[in-house]
Amino acid sequence: MRGKIGLASIALFLLSVSLAQADPLQIRGAWVAPVANWFSMWLQKKDLAHHFGQSYTFEATHYAGTPPMITAIANNELEIGDLAYSTLPIAIANAGMEDVRVIADEFQDGVPGYRDDEYEVLAAGPIKRVEDLKGKIVATNAIGSGVDVAMRAMLRKHGLEANRDYTIVEAPFPAMKAMLAEKKVDLIPTVLPFALDPELKKIARPLFTVHDAIGVSQFIVWTARKPFIDAHRAALVDFLEDSMRIERWYLDPKNHDAAAQIASQLTKQPPERFGWLFTKTDYYRDPKMVPNLDALQKNVDMTKELGFVKASFDVKAHSDLSLIEEAAKRLQ
Amino acid sequence: MAGIEDTASLATAEADVTHDAARRLDAVFRGGAGVFSVLLVLIAWELFARSGKVTAFMLPPFSAVVERIYVDAVSGDLWINLGLTVARAMTGFVIAAVLGIALGASMSRSRLIRWFFDPIISVGFPMPKIAFLPIIILWLGVYDVSKISIVVFDAIFPVVTATLAGIAAVDRELIWSARNMGASEREVMWQIKLPAALPQILTGLQVALPISLIVAIIGEMVMGGYGLGGAMMSASRFADSRGVFAGIVEIAVVGYALIKTMAVVRRRLLVWHQETAEHS
């Protein structure tokens, strides 16, 4: 009897171990702005993700900005960080996460012929030059984010320092238009899709752009930690292969109307408003999802020069593009 | 006979000295225990942070935090942030104290005022007033007016309720005696009710004071700009954990100093009261 119970226990144990091994890898990805960030509309095309549910599962989580992602990455609560050029060095140099690696491109800002994010003021307001912002209130989605650091860089170029010369208020991107219209703030960053809101266009005008502040930027990159990459390389390549397939579907002009329909459902705006989606009015997104590491190096060095991080670092040494290259090969 | 009396008085004096010494020893022990427990926590913090079990991002060593506070003090940032936070908290607290005592006293005196404000106080007291922050920002902007307004809004409730309860608990015989001696209602309020209700009013103020500091810091965290809350939020966004923990230590020190100051003020104001006599 005892022998039978022992054998049954061993069988149950082996079964549970094999089941545990067969569990797909859980991957959590972050997004900030709907439509602008891939992860906000990734699951809508999961029918193209051939490995989804087999080698991995995917969950997309919304964040107010890229800085809160750093804490989530540090706590191993976020596997794929959607970090900006400014938050990547904050994570590596300030938070000491030396093992963070750039694994893919999300989008680039200021690439000639493509979208360049703007900072807008009231068209009929008193702000005519950057210097006029002295003593005013400027909005940001999150202190330390890409739009925040570019804005501070531009204001510093004109002799204005945060707190000393102007006040920064955090507000979510969807609330920016109302805050400007109600004169609660004097300058707002506008990112897609909110930047092309017809009502905003009626009341606001651009004062400067991200390109004016920092030049071409590798604005957002996908990141993962090295121990996670090493432990789950095969599943990650599967995930990137599926992600690239989904990205290419969205970027394909013949799918434009269907993509606009998905964007409409996500943002509760009419699909006609998404004529710009994945055209040259949109951000530049590399079809092979390869980030511009030279631009990113310049952005990181600038973030250091502005005093936002303790030290700069070699971006290439903190990148692992082999995953995305392997994924791209599979789709050739 | 005289010898017996001398012996008795000597014994009484000895007993007094022994009692006094025991009391002092108890006071030293209690004070020492307070310092000792804080020291123990700080040592544990330092050792755990240096053990390698956590990164400096998750928990910087206490010594590194102290170093950061020193650097901020030398650069002047600490004094600007500290000064503004304390100024906002204390301005809000003083306004809440004056308005709260006035409203509580008026409610105790006038049935109409009580009829109007009682439901508002009853509904508002248990509510998390900080939920009104977005509305206050919408109406008043993000500068000092809104930061101080939310402090007043939050701190006024314990003052009103303490004043009401304090006045309601005043000995009726005291009030009747004053009236019998020809005191007017105004004199009864200023010379009998308010002084007699002072212990409870001060308790309400002691509750309102830390609330003022907490709300001032939360307001700064949300609205940005200078101040301990704004500095902590900014440090957090730039993954500057030393800056965040420095803010926590600074808030703890300021909070402790304010509470102790309030306790001293209470003892001074209630020098005539039984509770002060018991303490001394």
Q: Measure A187 CA to nearest chain B CA, in Å.
A: 14
In the predicted model, what is the mean pLDDT of residues A11-36? Answer: 75
**Are both B49 and B66 inside the same structural domain?**
no
Read off the CATH number of the domain in which B78 is found.
Answer: 1.10.3720.10
- The answer for A319, left when phi > 0, alpha when psi is -120 to 50, beta otherwise, is beta
Count of structural domains within chain B: 2
Tens digits of pLDDT across chain B (280 residues): 455 556 566 566 666 666 777 777 676 666 666 788 889 999 999 999 999 888 899 999 999 999 999 999 999 999 999 999 999 999 999 999 999 999 999 999 899 999 999 999 999 888 888 889 888 888 887 788 999 999 999 999 999 999 999 999 998 888 899 889 888 888 999 999 999 999 999 999 999 999 999 999 999 998 878 899 999 998 988 889 999 999 999 999 999 999 999 999 998 888 877 776 666 5
CATH class of A118-214: alpha beta
Looking at the DSSP bridge assignments, the partners of residue B259 are none
Statement to judge: residues B11 and B103 lie in one domain = no
Three-state DSSP class for residue B16:
helix
Ramachandran assignment for B239, one of left (phi > 0), alpha (psi -120 to 50 degrees), beta (any other): left
The whole-number pLDDT of residue A18 equals 52
pLDDT given at position B272:
78
Q: Looking at the structure, do residues B79 and B99 belong to the same domain, yes or no? A: yes
Judge: B57–A143 Cβ closer than 8 Å, yes or no: no
CB contact under 8 A, B230 and A67: no
CA distances from B150 to A218, B153, B262 (A): 41, 5, 21
- Which positions ≥6 away from B249 have C-beta within 8 Å? B65, B66, B69
- Does residue B133 share a domain with residue B113? yes
In this structure, the number of other CB atoms found within 10 A of the CB of residue A244 comes to 20
pLDDT of the residue at B277: 66
Q: What is the mean pLDDT of chain A?
A: 91
Quote the percentage of chain A above a pLDDT of 90: 75
pLDDT for res A210:
94
pLDDT at A279: 92
Q: What is the domain partition of chain A in residue ranges?
A: 2-109+217-330, 118-214
Does residue B202 share a domain with residue B142? yes
**DSSP three-state, residue A137:** strand
Whether residue B226 is found in the same domain as residue B161: yes
Instruction: Tell me the nearest-neighbour CA distance from B124 into chain A, angstroms.
Output: 27
> Cα B95 to chain center, whole Å?
15
> Looking at the complex, does the CB of residue B237 fall below 8 Å from at least one CB of chain A?
yes
Q: Does B108 touch chain A (CB under 8 A)?
A: no
Closest CA to A320 of A98, A101, A57: A101
Higher pLDDT, A97 or B28: A97
Q: Among all residues of chain B, which has the CA nearest to that of A166?
A: B225
pLDDT tens digits for range A253-301: 999 999 999 999 998 889 998 999 999 999 999 989 999 999 999 999 9
Q: B206 - beta bridge partners?
A: none
What are the residues whose beta carbons fall under 8 Å from the beta carbon of A155, sequence distance 6 or more? A130, A133, A138, A161, A162, A165, A166
Report which residue type is found at A149.
Answer: V
A-chain residues near B55 (CB < 8 A)? 74, 95-97
CATH code, residues A2-109+217-330: 3.40.190.10
The size of the A-B interface in CB pairs under 8 A is 60
Q: Which residue has the tokens 């307070």?
A: B34
What's the pLDDT score for residue B273? Answer: 75
Do B22 and B93 lie in one domain? The reply is no
Q: Is the pLDDT of residue A131 over 60?
A: yes
- Out of B34, B53, B72, pick the residue that ends a domain: B53
pLDDT at A10 over 70: no
Domain that holds residue B19: 1-53
Does B240 contact chain A (CB < 8 Å)? Answer: yes
